[in-house]
Copies of this chain bind each other. A is one copy, B any other.
């Protein structure tokens, strides 16, 4: 196939070019015919499927129900919420005709479904008995972007959006935080992204939300990537969309709500955290292929052993045995560039000694393992592979996490070694706008688990009562 074995730029030389080289050469994506759109090729889409599988199960444990709302939203519905339409207006792809006929009204392709879900629920919810409602939708959404990048920013992307409605503040807040826990677990345990969780500042929180919670991960190059957000609206959202219910005391009350989402950006986060100059490196739990068996020739003995290994390992792992007539070297490169965690080479010389050669993608080592020990060996090594990925990412983050007390100090850090910088911050929107204007960076989150001491704001020097991570971000 085209491009598969092209050279990959070193990530330390040109991180951005490296990223493009990896996504293309690993067969994750290609560009669509409309500018800013992308094709999810099988290897890329399969990673998303693994993410979906995990998240969907966790959502269902929280009694979340999946739904599907229409793609097209009439302009008039959109206009109901002014803040909403202002945020999205320049990015809205608009259907104006069908065939040769003008529709006479503008229909927007959803940039999110909150308006259309809110409109529906304002009629659907009558009584406290109808609550809670916990909807989730796996869907495509569209936001026309000027500069795009595979997985990170494209006009159309895939995501899940959860929208829940409750009869009390406490329950809505609990839901918001329960989802944050799901996202943390997904990031830390499945995607092996050591994320920092916390609350967004006033400037960075979602329009209309009372509080926005986020998980932030640090990429290899020291830039932050927002990897999932969960919003608590109190009754703000219900007020804006007129979603009322009759409570147990027979009184009308606005519903309390949360919303939350993760997207195919996560694939970008995985790549920019774990991969290297030899291509993709994937956490085993989302790797579409976990073990690749490569036969050095197609002699009966070699093929028998390869087939046996495949059937034995298939009960626990996703295994591939490529039987095409591609060369041995090509198959090795392909397993490497595609980020297969474990590679087994089966060759006649090894077999004489009753062994096969096993490589871990993260170490790029070669170890001869006795045939009867292969299963045990791999079960252990795949865990080590994942631990190593997490630890390396954590080490990178720790090496790139700093403290600063003044803007000068902050700027010199960010310019020298991009990373997370913990600063005392006043929390004011104007002050953060000022920082953004001066440094092209913004706050990432007010982290959980860090002492929030009083001090003076690193930028405006006014009294500060929070410690906040600032960083350059994707």
Q: Which residue of B lies closest to A30 (CB)?
A: B120
Q: Are A70 and B109 in contact (CB under 8 A)?
A: no
Asked if A69 is at the interface of the complex by the 8 Å CB criterion, the answer is yes
Report which of B33, B72, B74, B99 forms a contact with A156, defined as CB distance below 8 A: B72
Any chain B CB within 8 A of the CB of A395? no
Once A39-B67, A67-B41, A99-B144 are accepted as A-B contacts, the answer to whether A33 and B93 lie under 8 Å apart by CB is: no
Residues on B with C-beta less than 8 A from A74 are 33-34
> Once the chains bind, are B156 and A70 in contact (CB under 8 Å)?
yes
* Interface flag for A129 (CB, 8 Å): yes
Q: How large is the interface on A (under 10, 10 to 19, 20 to 34, 35 or more residues)?
A: 35 or more
Instruction: Give complex CA distance A98, B49 in Å.
Output: 30
Stretch at the interface among A14-22, A84-92, A196-204: A84-92
Query: Are A2 and B98 CB-contacts (below 8 A) given A37-B72, A68-B45?
Result: no
Among residues of B, the one whose C-beta sits closest to the C-beta of A77 is B33
A119 at the interface (CB under 8 A from B): yes
Pick from B72, B129, B140, B326: contact of A93, CB below 8 A. B72
A158 within 8 A of B: yes
A39, B99: Cβ atoms closer than 8 Å: no
Q: How far is the CB of A23 from chain B (nearest CB, A)?
A: 14
What is the CA–CA distance of A280 and B136 in the complex, to the nearest angstrom?
Answer: 24
Residue of B nearest to A72 (CB): B34
List, sorted by A's number, 6 A–B pairs whose CB atoms are closer than 8 Å: A1-B124, A32-B69, A38-B70, A39-B68, A72-B93, A140-B140
A66→B72 CA distance, assembly (Å): 25
- For A325, give its contact among B77, B129, B325 (CB under 8 Å): B129
**Residue in B33, B93, B142 whose CB lies within 8 Å of A116:** B33
Cα A42 to Cα B46 with chains together (Å): 25
- A90 & B99 in contact (Cβ 8 Å cutoff): yes
A contact face: mostly helix, strand, loop, or mixed: mixed
Q: In the complex the two chains form, is B93's CB within 8 Å of A98's CB?
A: yes
Q: How far is the CB of A49 from chain B (nearest CB, A)?
A: 6
Q: Is A165 engaged at the interface, CB distance under 8 Å to the other chain?
A: no
Residues 98-122 of A at the B interface (beta carbon under 8 Å): 98-100, 107, 109, 116, 119-120
Q: Which residues of A contact B (CB under 8 A)?
A: 1-2, 30, 32-34, 37-42, 45-46, 48-49, 65-74, 77, 89-100, 107, 109, 116, 119-120, 123-126, 129-130, 135, 139-140, 142, 144, 156, 158, 324-326
Residues from chain B with Cβ under 8 Å of A116 in the complex: 32-33
Report B-chain residues with C-beta under 8 Å of the C-beta of A120.
30, 39
Q: Closest residue of chain B to A325, judged by CB?
A: B129
Q: Are the CB atoms of B95 and A66 closer together than 8 Å?
A: no
Q: Who on chain B is nearest to A288 by CB? A: B65
Apart from A34-B73, A45-B65, what 10 extra A-B contacts exist at CB < 8 Å? A34-B107, A39-B120, A42-B67, A46-B65, A91-B99, A92-B99, A94-B99, A99-B144, A129-B326, A140-B140
How far in angstroms is the closest Cβ of chain B from A324? 6
A32 to chain B, nearest CB (A): 4
Residues of B within 8 A of A1 (CB): 124-126, 130
Q: How far is the CA of A135 from the CA of B30 in the complex (A)?
A: 15
B33, A70: Cβ atoms closer than 8 Å: yes
Given A92-B98, A99-B91 in contact, is the A66-B37 Cβ separation under 8 Å?
no
Which partner residue on chain B sits nearest A27 by CB separation?
A: B124
A37 touches B70 (CB 8 A): yes
Report the 9 A-B pairs with minimum CB-CB distance, sorted nearest first: A42-B65, A40-B68, A32-B70, A37-B70, A90-B99, A98-B144, A96-B96, A94-B97, A93-B95
Q: What's the least CB distance linking A267 to chain B, in Å?
A: 12
